[in-house]
């Protein structure tokens, strides 16, 4: 798989495959056509690209799609890419930007504090 990344449209497809696998490409196209207006051919082209990148396994007959990588693996890769490209590898800068720009509910802030406290305890 190397350093290949998923494009935004490919991530839309992956989200469906992660949630509904195994799923026919025709079903993916139907689900996306209402949301995006993409034609069946467009969706098939994108799925073929994702298969070539190694993120989806295709089986025939029926053009059945299953994820070849977990959502968590892609999240880790995309997070690392985001940190490296926009925040000089600093999670602190990313969180500072999020906290400054986003209205985060108090409940979520409390959960984040708890997660940070737990991580700190685990390091000791």
Residue 31: other Cβ atoms inside 10 A: 18
Compute the distance between CA of residue 95 and CA of residue 100 in angstroms, rounded to an integer: 8
For residue 4, the model assigns a pLDDT of: 81
For residue 2, the model assigns a pLDDT of: 53
- Taking only the tens of pLDDT, the chain with its 124 residues reads 556 889 999 999 999 999 999 999 999 999 999 899 999 999 999 999 999 999 999 999 999 999 999 999 999 999 999 999 999 999 999 989 988 898 989 999 999 999 999 999 998 7
Show Cβ contacts of residue 49 under 8 Å, excluding neighbours closer than 6 positions.
Answer: 10
For residue 27, the model assigns a pLDDT of: 97
**CATH class of the region 8-71:** mainly alpha
Compute the distance between CA of residue 88 and CA of residue 46 in angstroms, rounded to an integer: 31
């Amino acid at each position: 798989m190397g350093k290949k990344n998923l494009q935004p449209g490919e991530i839309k497809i992956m989200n469906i495959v992660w949630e509904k696998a195994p799923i026919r490409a025709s079903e993916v196209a139907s689900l996306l056509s209402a949301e995006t207006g993409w034609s069946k051919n467009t969706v098939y082209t994108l799925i073929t690209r994702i298969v070539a990148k190694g993120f989806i396994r295709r089986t025939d007959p029926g053009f059945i799609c299953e994820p070849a990588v977990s959502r968590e693996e892609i999240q880790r890769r995309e997070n690392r890419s985001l940190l490296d490209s926009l925040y000089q590898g600093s999670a602190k800068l990313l969180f500072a930007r999020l906290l400054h720009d986003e209205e985060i509910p108090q409940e979520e802030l409390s959960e984040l504090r708890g997660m940070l406290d737990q991580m700190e305890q685990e390091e000791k």
